[in-house]
Amino acid sequence: MKLGRLNHIGVATRSIADSVAYYRETMGAEQVTQPFDLPAQGVKVCFVDTPDAVGEVGKGTQIELIEPLGEDSPIRGFLAKNPAGGQHHVCYEVTDIAEARAWFEGLGKRILGPTRVGAHGTPIFFLHPKDMMGQLTEIMETPREH
């Protein structure tokens, strides 16, 4: 398997509204999605677009703001330990999610739960941070161009 594109950096926050104000006012973000709920994943999500290598917004790596949704949200523990929120995970793209899953299983990496549909509408899975040099790692199948 080859290292794929860094699709997004997941940033946990207690308040997406506060985080959006920060990215707009402090960081000068120009393109921010409307927040949306992913009840099955236990999070409210909002994407902040960053410019790509030539400065075009909309094709670069995104900041994925995630706020707990529901009592069982998987990020409640993280926010209890990190009340100010912060960098939570990184997400790399792959061309074939099943092949990637087999690759990491073959390396003995713990995969957290089933492959499921993520915030971009494509299959994703997570790898345990303790097996990934301390970094919670999400693997996502590259969206197919429409």
For Co ion, which is the closer residue by CB, 55 or 134? Answer: 134
- With contact defined as beta carbons under 8 Å apart, do 43 and 67 qualify? yes
Whether 138 is catalytic is yes
Neighbours of 79 (CB within 10 A): 19
Which string of x and - marks every residue 49-88 that binds ligand LZKTLF4L (by CB under 6 A)?
---------------x-x-------xx-xx---------x
What does the alpha-carbon distance between residue 28 and residue 48 come to, in Å, rounded to a whole number? Answer: 11
What does the alpha-carbon distance between residue 25 and residue 96 come to, in Å, rounded to a whole number? Answer: 38
- Three-state secondary-structure class, residue 9: strand
Q: In what side-by-side order are the strands of the sheet with 111-117? A: 36-38, 43-51, 57-68, 6-12, 86-94, 137-141, 123-127, 111-117
Binding of ligand LZKTLF4L at residue 44 (CB under 6 A)?
A: no
Report in angstroms how near the CB of residue 30 gets to ligand LZKTLF4L at its nearest: 22
**Binding piece for Co ion, criterion CB under 5 A, among 23-31, 39-47, 48-56, 64-72:** 64-72
For ligand LZKTLF4L, which is the closer residue by CB, 23 or 140? Answer: 140
Site of interaction with Co ion (CB under 5 A) = 10, 64, 91, 138
- Give the residue numbers marked as catalytic: 138
